[in-house]
Amino acid sequence: MSNITEEIKKRRTFAIISHPDAGKTTLTEKFLLYGGAINLAGSVKGRKAAKHAVSDWMEIEKERGISVTSSVMQFNYDGYCINILDTPGHQDFSEDTYRTLMAADSAVMVIDGSKGVEAQTIKLFKVCVMRHIPIFTFINKMDREARDPFELMDEIETVLGIRTCPVNWPIGCGHEFKGVYDRNKKTITTFQAAMGGQKTVDATEVLLGDPQVDWLIGEDYHHQLMEDIELLDGASDELDMDRVGKGNLSPVFFGSALTNFGVETFLQHFLQMTTTPLPRLADKGVIDPFEEKFSAFVFKIQANMNKAHRDRIAFMRIVSGKFEAGMEVNHVQGGRKLRLSQPQQMMAQDRKIVEEAYAGDIIGVFDPGIFSIGDTLCLSNEKFEYEGIPTFAPEHFARVRQMDTMKRKQFIKGVNQIAQEGAIQIFQEFNTGMEEIIVGVVGELQFEVLTYRLENEYNVEVKLEKLPYEYIRWVENKDEIDVAKIQGTSDMKRIKDLKDNPLLLFVNSWSVGMVLDRNPGLKLSEFGKN
Ligand code: GDP
């Protein structure tokens, strides 16, 4: 086996998705702890603070003490080389969060056991489903009062529409959390909390039939467990790895990230079950990651707000082969050959210059303004394009007006450049030109970023007037339909993008259904094509 094949085989690249506060950071931190990337848990949270000191990323990030863009962490564990893609939440939720999922090969979905499936999980989950990538569920915070596990399974299946297969099963929760039952090994591991940066705990593991069980978990819980097992064995899906691979079945694990219970077992199972780097579709066909020729696509562009060097970093996912620093590549969409200077890789806490990287890895390269989201890079004697990255539906809209009409040119230039980076989407009124611009964003913070950047980088002061729309749909069959004649609802608005593609805006999801009902043959989509 060649060295390249061996390296690629070791790669596991996944994203962690969750609703804020479900425990994503805590779980990531524990993963890194096992990999030895950090010595003491707690460092990941510190990462946000530490980053301000070392980086000159966005001013807003500094001012607000939050991280605006998602990052990648790489670490080694048990012979694997793991890339975790972080998907930012809270108010820094943006289109970047979605795009990050385009670079992942599988997803870990963290769910708070007391809350179940929450809004942001649903949104991110939809993108994973679109890509048919394997999804693993970690039901967290079992050391706290949690909902009935059967009810949680049921909610995942009905709300998210994916079948589930519990790999382990909780025994009690909160103060009465006794441990978990491993359905495959038929063993019970009793709950022990490891606090702080502790890696291991002295948990007891016994076989289900062991006479100690009654004593360890109590007679009532033992009885309950036997009933649960019977129900599970009778009613839940088999762990069919084929279905897991296609994203039709999610293996479910219960645990507690904070007390480090069930985390390493989860990591081990997950690494065995998840996939090596997946092939990707290009215009010339499917590209195999193990092909030795390097290729990659850009999935994220991050602007540097430091005035002293107004550059950008383009993040790319390596799809095939090996990358070597200084190597000459063909930037297909740009139509030119270039050398990637100073490629960087994000480690747990800082970035470092990489000398080599392999399919599955993410690297960031200095971008003097030549890259766009979705661009392909391949060997200099090759030429093909990866399938584009879809445009995700913005949920907040505003009309943007410049205060000084004399600065029209800068305004248009600024808005266009920021849109090219993928931070915002721009639209126009359906029947007019660029006199009025409507901006759509996935996360509201992007409005602030836009106002700030237009003022600081382009010297244009703008006023934003928020619009009430929250739902946008692309008209898929625009050539068959006369958009002007669509029977709308009173809250529907027609707009178009810069390529004149028609779109519809709605205040609520009910109207979307109504318009579909009223216009047979109309096809609407939540994702736009670039
Ligand atoms: P994120 O927003 O998803 O990254 O969530 P965090 O990892 O920051 O966790 C949110 C809060 O929940 C923090 O106060 C954590 O200490 C706490 N937390 C995370 N995991 C657990 C857990 O397993 N049990 C308990 N009791 N608290 C947890």
pLDDT at res. 235: 87
87 marked among binding-site residues: yes
Lowest-confidence segment of 54-58, 71-75, 288-292 by average pLDDT? 54-58
Q: Quick check: CB of 25 below 6 Å from ligand 1?
A: yes
72 closest CA partner among 276, 290, 434, 316: 316
102 closest CA partner among 526, 386, 473: 386
65 marked among binding-site residues: no
Question: Which atom of ligand 1 is nearest the CA belonging to 256?
Answer: 23
Residue 350 structure tokens: 């800082």
Sign of CA dihedral 218, 222, 224, 225: positive
Q: Rounded distance, CA 64 to CA 146, Å?
A: 33
pLDDT at res. 356: 87
Q: Quick check: CB of 24 below 6 Å from ligand 1?
A: yes
Q: Quick check: CB of 312 below 6 Å from ligand 1?
A: no
What mean pLDDT do residues 56-81 have? 60
Kindly report the backbone phi and psi dihedral angles of residue 54, in degrees, each rounded to the nearest multiple of 5, phi listed first: -95, -25
CA distances from 483 to 493, 503, 516 (A): 11, 9, 13
Question: Which atom of ligand 1 is nearest the CA belonging to 28?
Answer: 7
Give the CA radius of gyration of the chain: 25
* Contact in structure between 461 and 402 (CB atoms under 8 Å): yes
Helices (H), 274-386: none
Question: Which atom of ligand 1 is nearest the CA belonging to 89?
Answer: 2
Q: Quick check: CB of 23 below 6 Å from ligand 1?
A: yes
Q: Quick check: CB of 376 below 6 Å from ligand 1?
A: no
Predicted confidence band at 52 (pLDDT cuts at 50, 70, 90)?
very low
* CATH class label, 12-72+88-273: alpha beta
Residue type, 142: M
Q: Residue 446 half-sphere exposure, CB side, CA atoms within 13 Å?
A: 31
DSSP state letters, 119-163: HHHHHHHHHHHHHT--EEEEEE-TTS----HHHHHHHIIIII--E
What mean pLDDT do residues 46-53 have? 38
pLDDT at res. 174: 95
Q: Rounded distance, CA 80 to CA 239, Å?
A: 23
Beta strands in 277-321 (DSSP E): 280-282, 285-287, 295-303, 312-320
Question: Which atom of ligand 1 is nearest the CA belonging to 257?
Answer: 23
CATH number of 396-525, picked from 3.30.70.3280, 3.40.50.1970, 3.30.390.30, 3.40.470.10: 3.30.70.3280
pLDDT at res. 288: 97
Q: Quick check: CB of 21 below 6 Å from ligand 1?
A: yes
pLDDT at res. 196: 60
Q: Quick check: CB of 86 below 6 Å from ligand 1?
A: no
Closest residue to atom 15 of ligand 1, CA basis: 23
Q: Quick check: CB of 18 below 6 Å from ligand 1?
A: yes
**Domain ranges in the chain?**
12-72+88-273, 281-378, 396-525
Residue 220 structure tokens: 């009532």
Q: Rounded distance, CA 250 to CA 117, Å?
A: 14
CATH number of 281-378, picked from 3.30.450.20, 1.10.510.10, 2.60.40.1120, 2.40.30.10: 2.40.30.10
Specify which of 15-29, 218-232, 444-458 reaches the highest per-range mean pLDDT: 218-232
Q: Is 303 left (phi over 0), alpha (psi -120 to 50) or beta?
A: beta
Determine the distance separating the centroid of ligand 1 and the alpha carbon of 21, expressed in angstroms: 6
Looking at the predicted structure, is the pLDDT value of residue 354 above 80? no
52 marked among binding-site residues: no
Determine the distance separating the centroid of ligand 1 and the alpha carbon of 187, expressed in angstroms: 27
Predicted confidence band at 163 (pLDDT cuts at 50, 70, 90)?
very high
Question: Which atom of ligand 1 is nearest the CA belonging to 18?
Answer: 3
Q: Quick check: CB of 256 below 6 Å from ligand 1?
A: yes
Determine the distance separating the centroid of ligand 1 and the alpha carbon of 472, expressed in angstroms: 33
Q: Rounded distance, CA 98 to CA 1, Å?
A: 35
Question: Which atom of ligand 1 is nearest the CA belonging to 90?
Answer: 2
Specify which of 10-19, 29-38, 59-68, 189-198 reaches the highest per-range mean pLDDT: 10-19
Looking at the predicted structure, is the pLDDT value of residue 346 above 80? no
Q: Quick check: CB of 141 below 6 Å from ligand 1?
A: yes
Q: Which long-range contacts (CB under 8 A, 24 or more apart) does 347-351 make?
A: 347/37, 347/73, 347/74, 347/75, 348/32, 348/37, 348/38, 348/43, 348/44, 348/47, 348/73, 348/75, 349/38, 349/43, 349/46, 349/47, 349/50, 350/54
214 marked among binding-site residues: no
3-class SS shares of the chain: helix, strand, coil, % to 5: 30, 30, 40
Determine the distance separating the centroid of ligand 1 and the alpha carbon of 475, expressed in angstroms: 41
Question: Which atom of ligand 1 is nearest the CA belonging to 19?
Answer: 3
329 closest CA partner among 356, 293, 360: 293
Closest residue to atom 19 of ligand 1, CA basis: 23
22 marked among binding-site residues: yes
Predicted confidence band at 345 (pLDDT cuts at 50, 70, 90)?
low
Determine the distance separating the centroid of ligand 1 and the alpha carbon of 89, expressed in angstroms: 14
* Contact in structure between 81 and 72 (CB atoms under 8 Å): no
Q: Ligand 1, from 19, 24, 25, 26: best to mutate by most atoms within 8 Å of Cβ?
A: 26
Residue 233 structure tokens: 């064995």
Q: Ligand 1, from 17, 18, 21, 48: best to mutate by most atoms within 8 Å of Cβ?
A: 21
Q: Ligand 1, from 195, 258, 260, 261: best to mutate by most atoms within 8 Å of Cβ?
A: 258
Q: Rounded distance, CA 473 to CA 468, Å?
A: 15
Residue 60 structure tokens: 């807003």
The total number of residues shown for the chain amounts to 530
Q: Rounded distance, CA 297 to CA 319, Å?
A: 7
Residue 172 structure tokens: 């009690």
Residue type, 206: V
Determine the distance separating the centroid of ligand 1 and the alpha carbon of 10, expressed in angstroms: 29
Residue 95 structure tokens: 């289109």
Looking at the predicted structure, is the pLDDT value of residue 273 above 50? yes
Q: What percent of the chain has pLDDT over 90?
A: 61
Kindly report the backbone phi and psi dihedral angles of residue 91, in degrees, each rounded to the nearest multiple of 5, phi listed first: -75, -10
Determine the distance separating the centroid of ligand 1 and the alpha carbon of 161, expressed in angstroms: 26
Q: Which long-range contacts (CB under 8 A, 24 or more apart) does 407-411 make?
A: 407/459, 407/460, 410/458, 410/459, 410/460, 411/454, 411/458, 411/460, 411/462
**Contacts (Cβ under 8 Å, ≥6 apart) of 257:** 23, 26, 27, 29, 30, 110, 138, 140, 141, 263
19 marked among binding-site residues: yes
Q: Which residue has the tokens 């505003």?
A: 398
What mean pLDDT do residues 69-91 have? 80
Q: Rounded distance, CA 317 to CA 13, Å?
A: 10
269 marked among binding-site residues: no
Determine the distance separating the centroid of ligand 1 and the alpha carbon of 511, expressed in angstroms: 37
Buried b (16+ CB within 10 A) or exposed e, 82-103: bbbbbbbbeebbbbbbbbbbbb
Q: Rounded distance, CA 11 to CA 80, Å?
A: 6
Kindly report the backbone phi and psi dihedral angles of residue 421, in degrees, each rounded to the nearest multiple of 5, phi listed first: -70, -15
